[in-house]
């Protein structure tokens, strides 16, 4: 009986991720155009996503 299944198990170990792309650094975080502070991701009630500056309140579409 020839079988090509069941061989090569446990060869790949996926790296542990934080689960948060922002913490991961996989998303580029823009700087505030006004004060150059690092902006933070925020979302609207409608489900839209935008960047908000915690320093001066400037917002920017993602």
Asked if residue 32 binds Zn ion (CB under 5 A), the reply is yes
Instruction: Give how far Cα 53 sits from Cα of 2, 17, 30, 60, Å.
Output: 62, 26, 10, 9
Residue nearer to Zn ion on the CB measure, 17 or 37: 37
Asked if residue 35 binds Zn ion (CB under 5 A), the reply is yes
- On whether the CB atoms of residues 37 and 43 are closer than 8 A, the answer is no
Asked if residue 34 binds Zn ion (CB under 5 A), the reply is yes
- On whether the CB atoms of residues 38 and 31 are closer than 8 A, the answer is yes
Residue nearer to Zn ion on the CB measure, 43 or 59: 59
Asked if residue 38 binds Zn ion (CB under 5 A), the reply is no
């Amino acid at each position: 009986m020839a079988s090509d299944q069941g061989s090569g198990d446990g060869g790949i170990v996926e790296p542990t991720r934080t689960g948060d792309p922002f913490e991961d650094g996989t998303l580029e975080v823009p700087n505030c155009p006004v004060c150059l502070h690092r902006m933070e991701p925020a979302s609207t009630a409608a489900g839209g996503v935008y960047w908000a500056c915690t320093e001066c309140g400037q917002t920017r579409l993602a």
